[in-house]
Copies of this chain bind each other. A is one copy, B any other.
Amino acid sequence: MSTRESQRVPPKRRPFGDVGVVVDFSAVAADAGGTPDAAFIGLDRRKTSILATVVYEYIATGEPVGSAMLTQKYNLGVSPATVRAEMADLEEEGYLDQPHTSAGRVPSDLGYRYYVDRLMLPETVTQEERDRIKTEVGRASRQLDSAADHASHVLSNLTKHIAFAIAPRLDGQSYRHVQLIWIDVRSVHVVLVTNVGVAAQTTVETSEDVDPDRLTRACNNLNRHLVGHRLSDITFEKLNQLSAETPLPSDLVRLLAGLFIEQSEAHVERRLFAGGAHNLLDQQEFRDLRKLRAILDLLEEQRSLYELLQESLSTKGPKVSIGHELGNADMSECSVVTMPYKVANRNAGAVGVLGPRRMQYAKLIALVTYMTERLNVLFQGEFFES
């Protein structure tokens, strides 16, 4: 029925084509794959198309979209009145919202969700984008933290949103080498190298005096005994035992243990990298300073972002969280795209992009996906020959 309708009127311009819209009345069915109707759970074709068009248009313009404008701009082949009726239904069913009685419609969380899950067409990453990501990740070389740092920077630049990343967990990695560098009698610099690169570097103030020679011996001793072990297998007891042979300051042993094992809680702020907050200023939805504030505070605090990425660790592909799905009132006008990356074939970290709900989901998914692919390559293997 509706399909016939849209074909009957000879389109003055290719329907949707001019504006690059992702879906049209007939195309939707085709895109749905084997069972066309699978795409339309709860919604008939025309509703689906209208929903897609509304979401697409709203993402593009940021203005509530009205029926007249829609029929005209997208050559829908039906009258505004019909579109209005459909929109009213879609609102009833919760896919659209109306800011006020005499305004157009705006997608609801559910509307965005439906769009993301079933309607939008995948986007690609341009060659320039690839290049920037590749070189930037490349520059991070084998420093695990720095990779996350670079990832968040380049992603925020490319997306013009806030981007964030966590450095890889260490527990899937294996011990290669620890270098204890004597700084002075009361401080030691520690560099931990795993099978994928430099995993940690930090300076400890010790409460006992340290002798340089003894430090070297202890260091050799550690390396002799621990090389090849998975970090998560190295217990505090084992370290203590090794330290008994060639004594190390207890602070140092504790620190090492912390590096190898604890990992999770204490290091939130050290492991999360975020950037691009200034991009929020360009988003019309954040012209309200209080909303802006709320988001910036969230960033500052880091906790929420960290948890978002942690959650995504257990997923496989990209994960989109829309508005209230984020479970945080302050973020109810935002969406987040996250995706885990692997170290030695195991999810070990994640990157994400945070922006207004009105974001280019497909594009961001493509970018985030490509970024994780590069990180996967960076971290994929054993770089040591052993």
A contact set with B: CB distance below 8 Å:
138, 141-143, 146, 177, 179, 181, 183-185, 187, 189, 191, 193, 197-198, 201-205, 277-278, 281, 287, 289, 292-293, 296-297, 299-300, 383-385
Most buried by B among A189, A191, A385: A189
Contact A383 B184 (CB under 8 A): yes
Contact B289 A281 (CB under 8 A): yes
Residues of B within 8 A of A185 (CB): 385
A8 vs chain B, min Cβ distance (A): 48
Residues of B within 8 A of A205 (CB): 138, 141
Q: Which residue of B lies closest to A279 (CB)?
A: B296
Residues of B within 8 A of A293 (CB): 278, 281
Contact B277 A278 (CB under 8 A): yes
Contact A189 B183 (CB under 8 A): no
State which of B183, B197, B292, B300 has its C-beta within 8 Å of the C-beta of A183.
B197
Known: A185-B385, A198-B203, A278-B297. 5 other contacts (CB 8 A): A141-B205, A179-B191, A183-B383, A184-B384, A278-B299
Residues of B within 8 A of A189 (CB): 142-143, 191, 193, 198
A217 vs chain B, min Cβ distance (A): 16
10 contacts between A and B (CB under 8 A): A142-B183, A142-B184, A179-B179, A187-B383, A189-B193, A191-B201, A201-B201, A278-B296, A278-B300, A281-B296
Contact A197 B193 (CB under 8 A): no
Contact B142 A187 (CB under 8 A): yes
Given A179-B181, A189-B193, A197-B183, A142–B296 Cβ distance below 8 Å? no
CA A181 to CA B197, docked complex, whole Å: 11
A292 vs chain B, min Cβ distance (A): 6
Given A203-B198, A277-B278, A181–B187 Cβ distance below 8 Å? no
CA A142 to CA B385, docked complex, whole Å: 34
Contact A143 B278 (CB under 8 A): no
State which of B143, B181, B277 has its C-beta within 8 Å of the C-beta of A177.
B181
Q: Which residue of B lies closest to A187 (CB)?
A: B142
A374 vs chain B, min Cβ distance (A): 15
Residues of B within 8 A of A184 (CB): 142, 383-384
Contact B204 A183 (CB under 8 A): no
